[in-house]
C-alpha cells in the first residue's frame, strides 16, 4: 500500500482497520529516512526498530512513528543537543513529552538535527553539519529545529516534536512549508528537555496539517508534577474546536512587522492571506506593537544570560571535556551572558532587558483588548542560502525579529504556509493569540487551511521525495 503523504488520521485508520501493520508503517518511514537523510541531514540518530514496543493498542497514536529534536531525553537513545560536548550521552530517563507520546502508542523513529544547544536560526551551528532545505538544497531549513522541519517536509516522519525559544519551531516551519506551534509558556512540560533559556523554552509539535497539530497537542499538553512551571489550566479537546467559524473575529496586523527589511513577496503573500480572512467574515485592522524594535536586543541579552548559566553545568569535572569543545556560537553566547550578568553590568543590561520584557507583555495585553488575534509574517524573508549569514551573527539574529516578541511574552503562535516565493521557497505567517488560546489559533489556522490551496501546493512540492 502506498503510504506517501498520508495524514495522521489516515495512518491511524489504516492501522486500526489492519490494512497495514504498525511494523509496516515504522519500516516505511525508517526506509525513507535512511534513503533521503544523506541528502538532507535531517537526522543524526535513526533507529532500525522501535526502542519500546508500545502496549497501548487502543492509544490514539498506536503504531505512528515520530521523531524529536535532539534536545529531549530518550532513555537508552543517544541525546546530544547536536553538540560534541555530550555526543556520547545516553539518558537514563525520558522527557515527559516523550513519555506521553509513547503512552499514546507512538514509536520513536529518530532524533532530529538542530543548531547545537538550540543556538541558531539555520542549523549551520550544528556540530553534525547543516540540514538542507528539501525545497532547494542550496538553502537552509531554518533553525534551530531545522532537522525536524526538513524531515516533515520530505515526509520522512509523520510528525515531529520541536522546541521554540525564540522562533525555533516557527522559523523552520515557515522555511520548509510545514505547520509549527509555539505553545503558551507552561502548557507543555519541559521536564527532560536540555535547557537553552529556561524562562523562554517551550515544547511544541510540528506537523503537515493543522488538524494533525491539534491531535498531537491534546496528548502532550497539561500539568506535569516534574515541571514547576507547567500550567494547572485544564486542557481540552483542540480537535473539537477546529470547525468554529471565524466570522466576526477581529484580527490585528502590527504595522511594525511590515517595515524596513521585509521581503516584498512576504508582505504580499501575508496581505493576500489576510484578504482570505476578510472573505470569511473576519475584520482586519492595523494595530501597533510600539516596542518591537527593541525585541532582538532584549531577547539576546536575556537568552545569553540564561545560556551562560545553563551551559555552566557542562564542565570537565562532569563530562570530561573542557570548554574548547563548545563551538563558536556557544562560546559567543557564554561570553555575552557572562558579561551581562557580571558585577557592575547586571543592572545596566540584564535588569533593563527584564523591564523591557514586561513592556512587551503590556503591548500585547493592550492589543488583545481590541482584537481577538494577531497575524504577521514569521520571518522578514523566505529561507536564505547556506553560508549567506553564518559569518554575520547580527544578520542571523535578525531572522528572528518577528518571532522573539512571542517568546518574551509567553503567548502562543501558530505558523502556517501561505504560498511560495518566486524562487519556489515556502513562506509562512504566524497566528498569535492570548495566553492559553491555542484552541482559537488552531481553529483559525484550520479554517484557513480548508479555504485555500496552499496546502495542496505544499503537498505537490513534496512529491519529489516520493519513492
Segment holding 397, helix H or strand E: helix 393-397
Half-sphere exposure of 6 (CA within 13 A, CB side): 18
* DSSP bridge partners of 419: 427
Residue among 412, 430, 436 nearest 179 (CA)? 430
Neighbours of 236 (CB within 10 A): 13
**Which one from 6, 33, 54, 69 is the annotated catalytic residue?**
69
**Which residues on adjacent β-strands are paired with residue 182?**
413
CA–CA separation, 460 vs 66, rounded Å? Answer: 22
Query: Across-strand partners of 162?
Result: 204
* Residue tagged active-site, from 82, 121, 144, 415: 144
Do 420 and 460 touch, CB atoms closer than 8 A?
no
C-beta pairs of 368-372 under 8 Å, 24+ apart in sequence: 368/434, 370/250, 370/252, 370/287, 371/250, 371/251, 371/252, 371/285, 371/287, 372/249, 372/250, 372/251, 372/433, 372/440
Q: How far apart are CA 215 and CA 13, in angstroms?
A: 14
- Within its chain, how far is the Cα of 97 from the centroid? 14
- Segment holding 149, helix H or strand E: helix 146-153
Q: Catalytic site residue 144? A: yes
Question: For 255-259, which contacts have Cβ atoms below 8 Å and span 24 or more sequence positions?
Answer: 255/286, 255/287, 255/288, 256/288, 256/289, 256/290, 256/292, 256/293, 257/289, 257/292, 257/376, 257/377, 257/402, 258/377
Catalytic residue among 22, 83, 121, 168: 168
Contact 135, 343 (CB under 8 A): no
> Which active-site residues does the annotation give?
69, 144, 168
Amino acid at each position: 500500500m502506498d503510504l506517501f503523504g498520508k495524514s495522521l488520521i489516515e495512518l491511524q485508520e489504516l492501522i486500526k482497520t489492519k490494512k497495514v501493520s504498525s511494523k509496516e508503517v515504522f519500516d516505511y518511514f525508517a526506509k525513507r529516512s535512511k534513503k533521503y537523510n544523506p541528502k538532507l541531514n535531517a537526522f543524526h540518530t535513526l533507529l532500525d526498530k522501535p526502542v519500546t514496543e508500545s502496549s497501548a493498542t487502543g492509544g490514539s497514536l498506536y503504531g505512528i512513528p515520530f521523531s524529536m529534536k535532539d534536545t529531549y531525553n530518550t532513555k537508552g537513545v543517544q541525546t546530544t543537543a547536536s553538540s560534541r560536548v555530550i555526543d556520547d550521552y545516553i539518558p537514563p530517563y525520558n522527557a515527559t513529552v516523550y513519555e506521553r507520546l509513547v503512552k499514546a502508542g507512538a514509536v520513536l523513529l529518530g532524533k532530529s538535527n538542530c543548531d547545537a544547544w538550540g543556538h541558531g536560526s539555520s542549523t549551520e551551528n550544528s556540530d553534525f553539519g547543516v540540514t538542507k532545505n528539501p525545497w532547494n538544497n542550496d538553502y537552509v531549513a531554518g533553525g534551530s529545529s531545522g532537522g525536524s522541519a526538513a524531515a516533515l517536509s520530505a515526509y520522512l516522519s509523520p510528525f515531529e516534536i520541536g522546541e521554540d525559544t525564540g522562533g525555533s519551531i516557527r522559523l523552520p516551519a515557515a522555511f520548509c512549508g510545514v505547520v509549527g506551534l509555539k505553545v503558551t509558556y507552561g502548557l507543555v512540560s519541559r521536564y527532560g528537555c536540555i535547557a537553552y533559556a529556561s524562562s523562554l523554552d517551550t515544547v511544541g509539535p510540528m506537523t503537515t496539517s493543522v488538524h494533525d497539530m491539534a491531535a498531537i497537542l491534546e496528548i502532550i499538553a497539561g500539568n506535569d508534577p516534574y515541571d514547576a512551571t507547567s500550567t494547572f489550566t485544564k486542557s481540552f479537546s483542540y480537535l473539537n474546536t477546529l470547525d468554529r467559524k471565524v466570522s466576526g473575529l477581529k484580527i490585528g496586523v502590527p504595522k511594525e512587522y511590515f517595515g524596513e527589511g521585509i521581503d516584498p513577496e512576504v508582505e504580499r503573500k501575508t496581505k493576500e492571506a489576510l484578504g482570505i480572512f476578510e472573505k470569511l467574515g473576519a475584520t482586519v485592522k492595523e494595530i501597533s506593537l510600539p516596542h518591537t524594535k527593541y525585541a532582538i536586543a532584549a531577547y539576546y541579552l536575556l537568552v545569553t544570560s540564561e545560556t551562560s548559566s545553563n551551559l555552566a553545568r557542562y564542565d570537565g569535572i562532569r563530562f570530561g571535556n573542557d570548554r574548547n569543545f563548545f563551538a563558536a556560537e556557544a562560546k559567543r553566547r557564554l561570553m555575552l551572558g557572562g558579561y551581562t550578568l557580571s558585577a557592575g553590568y547586571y543592572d545596566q543590561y540584564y535588569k533593563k532587558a527584564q523591564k523591557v520584557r514586561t513592556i512587551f507583555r503590556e503591548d500585547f495585553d493592550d492589543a488583545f483588548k481590541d482584537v481577538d488575534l494577531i497575524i504577521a509574517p514569521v520571518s522578514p524573508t523566505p529561507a536564505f542560502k547556506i553560508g549567506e549569514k553564518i559569518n554575520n551573527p547580527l544578520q542571523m539574529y535578525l531572522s528572528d525579529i518577528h518571532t522573539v516578541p512571542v517568546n518574551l511574552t509567553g503567548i502562543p503562535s501558530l505558523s502556517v504556509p501561505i504560498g511560495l516565493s518566486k524562487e519556489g521557497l515556502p513562506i509562512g505567517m504566524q497566528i498569535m493569540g492570548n495566553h492559553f488560546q491555542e484552541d482559537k489559533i488552531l481553529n483559525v489556522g484550520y479554517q484557513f487551511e480548508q479555504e485555500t490551496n496552499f496546502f495542496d501546493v505544499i503537498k505537490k512540492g513534496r512529491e519529489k521525495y516520493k519513492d
